[in-house]
Structure 1
Amino acid sequence: MAQPHSAAPATLLCTLAVLVQTSLSVDHVPMLLWSTQRSQWNPDTTMHEGHIISAQELTVLLQPVLTQKSRNLVLFLQDRLSIDDFTYLSESYGDKNPFQNVQEILQSSPSSLVLPAVDCKATRYLLSFLQESGDWKLTNVTDPNVSHLEVDASKPNLLVVQLQPLGSGLTEISTLEAIAENDKIIGRVTMALQERGIHFSVIYTAVRPSRVSRRTDVIAGLRRQLMAAEEEENSAYPPLNVTTGNDTCILFYARNFSLKANSSVLIDLTNATFITQNVDISASECSNSNTTLSLKYTNPVSGISSLEIRFLMTKKFYEGSARNWSTLDSVEIVQDGEKFAKFNVSVISAPAEYSSHCQLVGTSNLYPARLVPSNDEAKNWDVFISRLQIQGFNIVNNTFSYASDCTGFFSPGIWMGLVTSIILVWILTYGIHMIMQLTTNNRFDDPKGPALSVPQTE
């Protein structure tokens, strides 16, 4: 009888949190507008803090764009975006500001308008509203290079650019890279139209927010704590396992497993690997000293007929620690059976009885565990893996063993603290030594010796 009584308050609190959160918050996203023509919006028009632009108010604000003489409109639509992304990411990463092009364009545009909060109900149907508001020639821009983009300036044009989705399982660093890539696309499209002398207006917004509103942080935090176990159970999926006979010899798990070919084609393999398991693992090999996890995908994305990814692991005995260690030595990518890319792996190792776990693994310099290109073909690929866990030896009961994290104990922050402490201790020691070396001036009178006599005649 104890369990039902203990579960009831938690359920009640969850329901209360949901109801309060719903009543206090309205999903909203930012919207940035700019134009190559002057006086499109009244600069004195301001919205009080916390005001959320409704669909009706947005219709009025968009009238200057819809009624301008040269009606060329570009809509940059992203899946998730919040106003906090601009402040947090810009301040946290300094010179690696992912919104650099957008900020420069806003500052240099003859007229611009920033709407911090627009109701998601309005942005969700924004494209339909724009299509119904005039006789537009609709063009979906799919090529980010826009080298072949044709715009007939004599007719009203509506260019729709669906930006790269951020997804729901990406880490902060992966989100930073995705936003930076979208920022480059915005810069390229804008520059291409300006070079052709075309006057146009731009709308940059998203379908839903990416961050929780500040007003509901506490309530949402309570809700997350109460429902953490349920969310974890619903969102988690089992690891991929490779068996030999009745025994499992390889376990592989990642929260996000994505590749990018030629810095443009994004290939998300998470769903195909772990959920639908639309992957061929028959070429995987297991032995006491070497293990190879082979993942083969057929038509993972348009333009690539086959893709194979190999994880090569070895087990060796090290006399220094007097035990066996397993190491992920390299990662290989084979495209269409011809193009071969190889990456050397750093800092992913563990005792042979353990599994290896890394929060972030990839080709970016920001990741603690890097994949370093070993040949020229590897430079054409970007790899993003979050929450990687892999084990190729000594698997018991078909489950991961204790995870050894790839992040070393002496992180850069710890090293900085140690070096700073050593310098301060050395300064303190030197100062104490100098104080101890101070001596009394011997020219003063010594009370234990003969008195000094100074003749008055001198």
Structure 2
Amino acid sequence: MAAEHRMMSGRGCMAAFLAMLCTFSSGKCDEQVPLMLWTSEGSGLLSQAVPAAGHIVGVTQLNSYLETALGSSPRNVLLFLQDKMSIEDFTMYGGAFGNKQDSAFPNLEGALLSSPSSLVLPTVAWPASNAVIGQLQDQLDTSPLYLDPEMLSQLRLNASTPALLVFRLPYSTGADLMSVKEVLSGNDEVIGQVMSIMKSQSVPYTAVYTAVRPSRVSSISMDMEAGVRGGRSLLQYGDRKRERERQREKERAEKKANDRASERTGVYPPVEFKEGGAGCIMLWAENLTVSVLRGGRWERHDLTSLTFGEGVTPRLQGSLCNQSHSSLVLNYENILGHRSFKLVFTMSQRHYKVSARRWFTLDAVEIEYDGQKATFNGSRSVYAPAEYSYRCQSVTNFRYPVLVPRTSKDPANQWRVSFTDFQVGGCVSGDAVCLKPRPDNTN
């Protein structure tokens, strides 16, 4: 019976996952991501109840799943954190309906098959998946280490010492369907390499594969009966969806080109703060916008023209940087009815011995207005090696948020920030190389 249970949690795991994708009668898939969890030893996940089809796992429930799993599973945790992922990625690229030779996930399926204990959560609310690093960090009481397979091969892990090893994986958003599959196949190869390294070191582990945000932004409606009977072709579905995505992408590109042509004739330089004559903080964005909630409506103000452009010299009083911390302060006046208004980007640097390099994080974005302060945390989502800058197509606190209010009672809950094609970096070398971009692949 135990062997049969293992078979269901291994071999049947991906199959059951794909089957669940075909039994959604209707629903919005653009606000959830899948999460897969498996272990190299133990049976702690076998007792976990799999959610019913269509059930969306929230922050509290996911935390409970992880807490139960880590209570009896290895505490060397491998977190494969993809930039984007949706259940459609598995239906379109997972070799569904028996076409396994065309799957982009052979190593993932192999890991689930060989694992004595695994769990698949098809629909996790993206705020929960976005918080998974923080949840694991709290439960393991250790800081995350950001690695790649080559770095991992140089480590010597201790089974008795908890570790949170994070492998960031990209996602392609190109119109070419094959480019997405190629990226997912490359990510699957990374998973396979990591599994091989862990096996060679004989270190027990718990692995988690999920994403920061969904990869699909359109509402998907599936017919249950047609899906179960196979009457609806995934290829036909993919063709129609691809055509719609290409049309939307074309419209967005045209709008973006028109907007840029009408707003400026050239690319404006970034905001740069210098300490002792050497550049140490750089910020650039195509658009900086803030909004405040008043009387049930959002009042919006565009800060772009006050921050960037020919002849614009932003006031940076209060900015600072040193070996471990930096702060860029943009000073404004008369914004949304506030005489004094500041937008503050607070960053820090830390050296990780395991990766043998320094990493910077954008710890917070603050809005200071007439003696009040609204604080958005960003450190769990906004980070890069110190020699790079962080770049992201969209940084907001409301639509696929990268920034989150510090607390539920913080004034930040009454504010919205939106940064388009956002790039920020903070270092102390004064060398331009420290500001080369490291995209987050969300654009």
What TM-score do the two structures reach when normalised by structure 2?
0.43
What TM-score do the two structures reach when normalised by structure 1?
0.42
Larger radius of gyration: 1
Does 1 or 2 have the higher relative contact order (CA < 8 Å, sep 6+)?
A: 2
